[in-house]
Amino acid sequence: MNKSFFIVIIAILLASNIGAEEGWSNSKTWFGDPDLQGTWTNASLTSLERPDSYETLAVTDQDAKIAIRMSNEFVESVDNPYEEGESPQAGDNVGGYNVAWMDPGTELFKIDGKYRSSILTYPEDGKLPRRYIRWGLEGYGIYKMFAVADHPEERTLGERCLVGFGSSGGPPMLNVLYNNHYQIVQSPGYVMILVEMNHDARIIRLESNHNPSNMKPWLGDSIGTWEGNTLVVRTKNHHPQQKFRAGIRHQILIMEEAEITEKFTRINEKEILYQFEVNDDKAYKDTWRGEMPLRAADGEIYEYACHEGNYAMANILAGARAEERK
């Protein structure tokens, strides 16, 4: 064999090694599916909708620094609501969480090396195309959840520890104020996503059909297929009590008939590109789409102890009954 033959062989081997390092397409589970397993986080200062202060999807480094500063100021105001020497008046709202409980992320996320002003990529203005008449029709039920609920079943799902606040469990899976971790586990025929907030488990059946429309589980009915190295998940038959999902950074309405498509593509060892599309003609005038990275997280997800040792709900209800007896 001549010298040029060995040079060609070495060049081919080097090229294949470079490709394996740059992409994640060669990483497979023991049963041959692309490997998405691990613990991931979508914690970020980027919100679902684009703030009015931004005009474009991609923003500058300076804009990103301003977002960090404003987030820090907000957290400081929550943690220290009173000026030095002040104290709350008797009967005032004592507040909720201090900074120790918050983990919203530390910066805007990047895609293709550029900071993003919103998770939404369509509509191009970064705003949800709401049908306000439908939102108005649902408004009284939403108001009761937050203001005048008469019994526990009318309180928000997060308060009742059924699913996480907002749309943390999805679909679509959106970032919230804290507990933004997910663990993905794969087995032949299934993908399971364990959602940190309220320890919900999304079980995605591969190469399957949707269940009958009268079966509406929490987080919807999800089926998946592989398109190359991308897991494509289609979800419908959403639980009727999970229509309105409110978090610090998003407020969305998902009707029972909505059809949501998600895509999970592992682009390197430390990152999954998560994309979604929502089709819900009742609540929105148009389709809306978004994307964000899921980044590898250190450690593991611990049990989300929600109501254990929590006497607040019982005390609130007892107080309301006492008021009624006056």
pLDDT of 293 above 80: yes
Does the residue 3 lie in any domain?
no
For residue 93, the model assigns a pLDDT of 67
Q: Of 133, 193, 138, nearest to 164 (Cα)?
A: 193
Closest by CA to 306, choosing from 193, 155, 175, 183, is: 155
The closest of 83, 78, 81 to 101, measured between CA atoms, is 78
For residue 105, give both structure tokens. 């992320």
Contact call for residues 270 and 295 (beta carbons, < 8 A)? yes
pLDDT in tens, 80-111: 667 777 777 776 766 666 777 788 888 999 99
> Where residue 272 sits, what CATH number does that domain have?
2.40.128
The answer to whether position 245 is within a domain reads yes
Assigned domain for 24 exists:
no
For residue range 202-251, list pLDDT tens digits in order: 999 999 999 999 999 999 999 999 999 999 999 999 999 999 998 878 99
Express each pLDDT in 134-150 by its tens digit.
Answer: 888 888 777 777 777 77
Task: Identify the domain containing residue 179 by its residue range.
Answer: 40-45+130-296
Domains in the chain, number: 1
Pairing outcome for strands 38-41 and 288-296: antiparallel
E strands in the chain: 38-41, 58-59, 110-111, 114-116, 120-122, 181-187, 190-195, 200-206, 221-227, 230-236, 244-246, 251-253, 259-268, 271-279, 288-296
What is the chain's percent helix, strand, coil content, to nearest 5? 25, 25, 50
Q: Are 163 and 242 in contact (CB under 8 A)?
A: yes
Region 322-326: mean pLDDT is 87
| pLDDT of res. 47 | 94
> SS3 for 313?
helix
Is 265 within a domain?
Answer: yes
- Quote the pTM value: 0.85
pLDDT band, residue 19 (cuts 50/70/90)? very low
Angle (CA) 166-136-140 rounded to 5° is 75
Instruction: Express each pLDDT in 32-62 by its tens digit.
Output: 999 999 999 999 999 999 999 899 999 999 9
Among 182, 155, 177, 36, smallest CA distance to 97 is for 177
Say if 141 falls within a structural domain: yes
Residue 190 lies in a domain: yes
Asked if residue 58 is part of any domain, the answer here is no
